[in-house]
Chain A
């Protein structure tokens, strides 16, 4: 590998591009597009950390996103807390729920498809609860009253852009750390062969719970961002299958278990979403393409679209 390895150069170029983007493309539409890409990157990376790096396939990752969104909104609306407190609180709530679900499921020895199913069921249970109890606003959801200003965590569009860029940078940073740390190596061992990992002396239960907490924290923070950006949250947005599937798709299509896969996935999904909306009024076209892409990628590009970009590492 040359001294200017892509491991150092590409993150810096990317970071520069992300920072410059809203200064070059100033229209509301363009900045909003950037926000959506980076927001999806955070969610996809959250899924990727658990599903890609640690191999813990989740079909209900929206549960962490939703818990974060509700935690920050409830704190602000019902308990009168300073809105910015919602961000750490949402991450904490996501981490707690991640720990809880992981501890219960892994304690019961659930793996692979069974783990995927139970995460789906947890998300569904949370959706029903949020729909049925009072302090979440029930099926109507929660509306954060419009009150622009830094103190109320309702920034200018560009302020939100840099905030989600920071969150996305953190999420990518976590992924980079996972490729270099012993923790990441232990997760890779678990992903490749859990029994062998345990035989090597890795406390697989603990590592898996830790990674779910980490993943939950990221998605939780993403949930808080969503609630502040759109000022609205309801049970099916927060905990719906659609959100879980979106998180999975971003990571799987871009490249599960890779650092930049979710970024690529988020970019592509946003691009497809926007261009199909231009093309036709009818709903569903973009998701038809996502689903087809998912199938093709599993069939032909198991490491995601990022494999297409890795010409250097391809064997001759």
Chain B
């Protein structure tokens, strides 16, 4: 195997991992605080990607310029979803939440299919096809931007959780919800806010992904197993774990595609997922 091909694949894999990171960080935050598995994560990302698509094609808003608006909109969507649906309908049972978020994803995906048809849509902006030379690899500019912005946003989120009062409340609820309630924290509100922040990450991810990706009603499927794998790999609820996990998974996907061919290469992710769940379900980085 040629070293340049390997190096190029590795760089592409890391960049890919960077764009997975935001999706996975949102998922792991929701898991860490609410202890629920948000099965609707992929379809909410899909929704955000359509949002970015229509903002550009109908209102001529550049995807990167749409970032603050998308973050705010998706936060609101997540907050309302939790308040109106998930928290209310689950009767406090984990399995119910899993099923409700599954139901939600079925509704969203098929609503997208119903209204927008099944075609894959992509956008073209001036910088879509700009290539940057990065060591042995020639990478599209949007992918590099997505990688860097994703890392910055993950860092900002970690700082927010660590430094602010709200972040402190979120950490308190994640650690010990009953205790948090006792000291006067409105736990349900923190749940809704955390869910909102997790979904807001998807708004950001959508803005960063769209210039180099496509959107279709089932695009979320691509990210669901990947995001769950990353989160399980890094340890459910761990930020750093999600970040490192995302890079590992991006690398794995790129390298297994290189070595096993396109069809069989996809098995790398599922195999890691199954093996981690079977042998180390608390993740790689747990003590």
Give me the interface of A with B, judged by CB distance under 8 Å. Answer: 57, 59, 104-105, 107-110, 112-114, 116-118, 120-122, 124-125, 128-129, 131-133, 138-139, 241, 245, 248-249, 252, 282-285, 287-288, 290-295, 298-299, 302
Contact = CB atoms under 8 A, between A and B. Distances in A.
Contacts of A248: 102
Identify the interface centre among A125, A249, A282, A293: most chain B CB within 10 Å of its CB: A125
B281 A114 contact: yes
A285 B114 contact: yes
B277 A117 contact: yes
A105 B273 CA distance: 12
A141 to B, nearest CB: 14
Interface residues of B, number: 46
Contacts of B267: 125, 128-129, 132
Interface of B: 36-37, 85, 88-91, 94-96, 98-100, 102-107, 109-114, 117-118, 217, 221, 225, 228-229, 232, 261, 263-264, 266-267, 270-271, 273-274, 277-279, 281
B8 to A, nearest CB: 24
A241 B94 contact: no
A308 B103 CA distance: 21
- Give the 5 A-B CB pairs with smallest separation, nearest first: A291-B106, A299-B89, A284-B110, A284-B113, A294-B103
A117 B103 contact: no
B281 A295 contact: no
Main secondary structure of the interface of B (DSSP, over half): helix
Contacts of B112: 284
A133 to B, nearest CB: 8
A108 B279 contact: yes
A285 B106 CA distance: 11
Given A287-B106, A288-B107, A302 B91 contact: yes
A110 B88 contact: no
B111 A284 contact: yes
B271 A125 contact: yes
Contacts of B228: 117
Contact of A118 (B36, B110, B221, B274): B274
19 contacts: A57-B95, A108-B278, A112-B94, A112-B98, A113-B95, A117-B273, A122-B270, A122-B274, A245-B106, A282-B117, A287-B109, A291-B105, A291-B107, A292-B107, A295-B100, A295-B104, A298-B96, A299-B88, A299-B89
Given A118-B274, A245-B102, A282-B113, 15 more contacts: A57-B95, A108-B277, A120-B225, A121-B273, A121-B274, A122-B270, A125-B270, A132-B263, A138-B263, A241-B221, A249-B106, A283-B118, A284-B112, A291-B107, A295-B85
A124 B225 contact: yes
Contacts of A283: 110, 113-114, 118
